[in-house]
Structure 1
Amino acid sequence: MVARTANPFKPTAGRMPPLLIGRDGVVEDFEEGLDDGPGAPGRLMRVTGARGVGKTVILTEFGRIAKARKWEVVDETASDGLSQRLLDRLAPDGPTMSLSLKPSVSLAGLGGVSLGEASVSSRRMPLTLREAMGRRLDALERRKAGLLVTIDEAQAADRDDMVAIATAVQHLIREERNVAFVFAGLPTIASKWLNDEVLTFLRRAQAERLGDIPLDEVEDAFVDTFDGSGMSIGGEALRKAVEATQGYPFMIQLVGYHIWRIAYRRQRGSGTGGHMEVGDADADAGVANALDRLGDAVHGPELDGLSPIDKTYLLAMAQDDGPSSTSAVAERMGKDVAYANVYRTRLIDAQVIRDVGYGKVDFAIPYLRRYLREHAACIRMNAAR
C-alpha cells in the first residue's frame, strides 16, 4: 500500500501553517528586537486581532525564533492562577510556595510561621516574580541567552495577574536584563488593560494589529503549498479558492485543507496515480466544507462572547446584503441612534464590524452575515432567555 501523503494545511488553533504569509513585518520587528538587545522596541509587544487572524500562530513563531537563538521560552494562556503558573515554571526547583493574589496576608502556625499553605498579598507577588525571573536570567545570561515570556488571550487575565507580570517585566527591562515579553489577545485588550493607571507600562508595548492577508499573497501561498505536496492548483479552481478565503488567515487554512483533502481522496480513489491536480468540483466542495466549519470554529465562539444587545445590533445589520446604515440599524433595533452607537463602537473595537465611512458599517469577520442569517432564530431565542 502506498503511504498516504499528509495534508499540508493545518486549520487548527495555534498550529503553525505551512507558510506564515503576510506577517513578515511583525516577525522582522520581533527578530530585530532580540538581536538589538535590551530596550529594543520589539522586546515588548502586544499583538491584537479578531479571532482567526493568527495571534497564537505568531506567538508560536516568536517562540521558535527565540529557541533558535538558545533563549528559554515560557508560554502561557491567561486564566486563573496565571502568576502562580509562571512562578512555578521559573522556579529553579519547580513549584515553590502557593501564592494567592489577595489583599491580605494570612499566616497561621507555630510562632506565626505557616506550616501549610502560604498566602502572599498581591503587593508581594510582583517582587516574587521579579526575583524568580531574575534568577533564571542570571543563568541564561551567563551563556548569552535570554528569556521570552508570551501570554495568549491576555484579555481574559485577572487584573492582579497582569499587574504582577507587568511590574516584574518593567523592572527587569529597566535593569537591562535579556528579557522579552509579548502578550496577545482580542482587540478589547486595549480598553481593558491599557487604560488602567497601574498598567500604564503596557501602553509602551509595540502594537502589532493583525489583519487580513492580501489576495495576491494568498494565491502565491496556495500555489506553493499545493505544489510542495505533489498537487497542482490553477485556473478557475485557484480563483475560487483564493476568493473564498477573503484574505482571512483561518479561512485560508480551512479552504486549503478541505480542497486538498477532497482532491487527494478523489484521485487516490481513482487509482490513476501520477501527478495530482485540483479540479473545479474539488474547489467547490472544499469551499462548501470550509464554510460549514468556519461557523463552528469562529462565528459561534465570537457570538458567545457578545452581549444580547450586541447580537441584536448584528442581526439588524445582517438584513442588508452589503454595508449597513447606522441609522437604519438603530431603527430596526427600535432605538435611537445614540443608543445604538454605543454598541456600534463596542463591536468596532472588538473588530467584529468595521466603519466603512458615511455613516455605514460592515462585517469585519468573513461570512458572519451568512452565519447570522442561518442562525437568527436560535440567536434570538437564546438572547430572550
Structure 2
Amino acid sequence: MTWDVEPAEGLADHGDLALDLTDVLVALGQAAQEHGRGVAILVDEVQFLRSAQLEAMIQALHKTVQRKLPITFVGAGLPQIAELAGDAKSYAERLFRFPEIDSLGDDDAREALIRPAELEEASFASDAVDLALEITKGYPYFLQELGYQAWEIAAGPEITADDIDAAREGYLTKLDRSFFRVRLDRATGLQTAYLRAMAELGPDAHKAADVARVLKRESTQLGPTRAELIDMGLLYTPEHGYAAFTVPDFDQFMLRAVPELVVPEVRRRARRTSDGHP
C-alpha cells in the first residue's frame, strides 16, 4: 500500500533535529489520519540513541499526542531507558509506559520448548524440560539455542534429559563464540578487568566499592570505566550504587573467557617542568 502525498516546502528544514523531526512526524500523522490509518515507529536498542536524538524523538512524539494524530512509538532497550528518557525530557514519564520484559516465567518457558516440538510431532521429556530451564534460566534466546542443539543431537522423537545434557557443550560454545563474545570484544583492557572482577563476585548486582576492592583500586578511579560499560550496554544499574550484567550467565562466560584476572597498571601522567614541557 502507498499513500500519495503532495510534497511540502518549508517543512523540516530548520537545521534543528527536534524541530525537523517534529515537522516530519506531524506531517506523517496527518497523512495517516486522512487515509484512516495508523503509524507505528519501532526502535530497538534505544539506549544507544544520543541524547539529542532521544530528546528530538520525545519532543516530536509529544506534539503528535497533543494533536491526537495516529502515531505510536515502541522502543526496546536496557532498563536504563526510563532514566534516559526522563533526563532527555521531564514529561517523558507521562508520555510513555515502561514495562519490564525479563526472562520467561516457568510456564511460558516450558511452552516455548514443548509447543514447537509438538508441531513437528516430537516431544520433550518432563525431566528434559526441567534441565533446560535450569540451564537457560528462562532467557528466550538461550532456550532457542539449547533447544536447537538438543534437536540436532536427539536420536528419536522424544528429547530426553540426556540429550539436553549432551547439548550443553555445543550450546555454551555457540553462546561463547557469538552472543557473549561480540560484547566482550568491544571492551578495553581495563573494562575487561572490571567485568572479570564483577564475575568473581558472582551473578548478582554489586556495589562499585566491592568491584574496586577486587581490582585493588579506589571507586573514584574506576567511575569512568563503570560509566563506559553502562553506556556500551554491558552493565546496567538496577538501583543506585549497584551495577549488574545486562544478560544472564555473563559472569560464567567471563570466568571461562578470562580465567585469570589481570588488572592493567595505572597510567601516570608525565610530570611537566616549569616551562610546560614533559
| 1:376 aligned partner | 258
| 1:333 aligned partner | 215
Q: Is the 8 A contact 1:324 1:361 kept in 2?
A: yes
Q: How far did residue 316 of structure 1 move? A: 1.9
1:166 pairs with 50, 58, 61, which one?
Answer: 58
Q: How far did residue 375 of structure 1 move? A: 1.6
1:176 pairs with 62, 65, 68, which one?
Answer: 68
Point out the more displaced range, 369-378 or 239-248.
369-378
Query: Are 1:262 and 2:143 counterparts?
Result: no
Partner SS for 1:186? coil
CA 1:309–1:201: 2 relative to 1, 3 Å: farther
Q: Is the 8 A contact 1:353 1:364 kept in 2?
A: yes
Counterpart-to-counterpart distance in 2, 1:370 and 1:282: 22
Q: Which amino acid aligns with 2:15?
A: S
Which residues in structure 2 correspond to 1:2-13 (within 5 Å)? none
| 2:15 aligned partner | 122
Q: How far did residue 233 of structure 1 move? A: 0.6
Q: Is the 8 A contact 1:308 1:383 kept in 2?
A: no
Deviations 1:117-148 (A, max 9, x none): xxx4433x444433433333334323432111
CA 1:215–1:351: 2 relative to 1, 3 Å: farther
Partner SS for 1:260? helix
Q: How far did residue 289 of structure 1 move? A: 1.6
Q: Is the 8 A contact 1:248 1:366 kept in 2?
A: yes
Query: Are 1:241 and 2:241 counterparts?
Result: no
Q: Which amino acid aligns with 1:202?
A: A
CA 1:363–1:229: 2 relative to 1, 3 Å: same
Counterpart-to-counterpart distance in 1, 2:164 and 2:242: 33
Alignment size in residue pairs: 261
Q: How far did residue 231 of structure 1 move? A: 0.5
CA 1:91–1:378: 2 relative to 1, 3 Å: farther
Counterpart-to-counterpart distance in 1, 2:70 and 2:180: 40
Q: Is the 8 A contact 2:5 2:31 kept in 1?
A: no
Counterpart-to-counterpart distance in 2, 1:239 and 1:222: 11
CA 1:122–1:200: 2 relative to 1, 3 Å: farther
CA 1:232–1:307: 2 relative to 1, 3 Å: same
Partner SS for 1:200? coil
Counterpart-to-counterpart distance in 2, 1:180 and 1:153: 17
Query: Are 1:134 and 2:26 counterparts?
Result: yes
CA 1:143–1:378: 2 relative to 1, 3 Å: farther
CA 1:348–1:176: 2 relative to 1, 3 Å: same
| 1:156 aligned partner | 48
Partner SS for 1:212? coil
Q: Which amino acid aligns with 1:142?
A: E
Q: How far did residue 347 of structure 1 move? A: 6.5
Counterpart-to-counterpart distance in 2, 1:231 and 1:299: 30
Query: Are 1:314 and 2:195 counterparts?
Result: yes
| 1:110 aligned partner | none
Deviations 1:21-45 (A, max 9, x none): xxxxxxxxxxxxxxxxxxxxxxxxx
Partner SS for 1:182? strand
Q: Which amino acid aligns with 1:212?
A: S
2:172 pairs with 272, 291, 296, which one?
Answer: 291
| 2:98 aligned partner | 207
Partner SS for 1:219? helix
Counterpart-to-counterpart distance in 2, 1:302 and 1:279: 32
Q: How far did residue 150 of structure 1 move? A: 1.6
Q: Is the 8 A contact 1:215 1:246 kept in 2?
A: no
Counterpart-to-counterpart distance in 2, 1:325 and 1:139: 50
CA 1:331–1:135: 2 relative to 1, 3 Å: closer
| 1:76 aligned partner | none
Counterpart-to-counterpart distance in 2, 1:380 and 1:92: 60
Query: Are 1:225 and 2:116 counterparts?
Result: yes
Counterpart-to-counterpart distance in 2, 1:344 and 1:162: 22
CA 1:91–1:249: 2 relative to 1, 3 Å: farther
Partner SS for 1:181? strand
Q: Is the 8 A contact 2:215 2:263 kept in 1?
A: no
Counterpart-to-counterpart distance in 1, 2:237 and 2:22: 40
Partner SS for 1:194? helix
CA 1:251–1:212: 2 relative to 1, 3 Å: same
| Gap runs ≥5 in structure 2 | 267-278
Counterpart-to-counterpart distance in 1, 2:265 and 2:43: 32
CA 1:181–1:334: 2 relative to 1, 3 Å: same
CA 1:155–1:361: 2 relative to 1, 3 Å: closer
* Percentage identity across paired residues of the two chains: 22
Q: Is the 8 A contact 2:78 2:246 kept in 1?
A: no
1:282 pairs with 163, 185, 190, which one?
Answer: 163
Query: TM-score, normalised on structure 1?
Result: 0.55
Q: Aligned Cα RMSD in Å?
A: 4.2
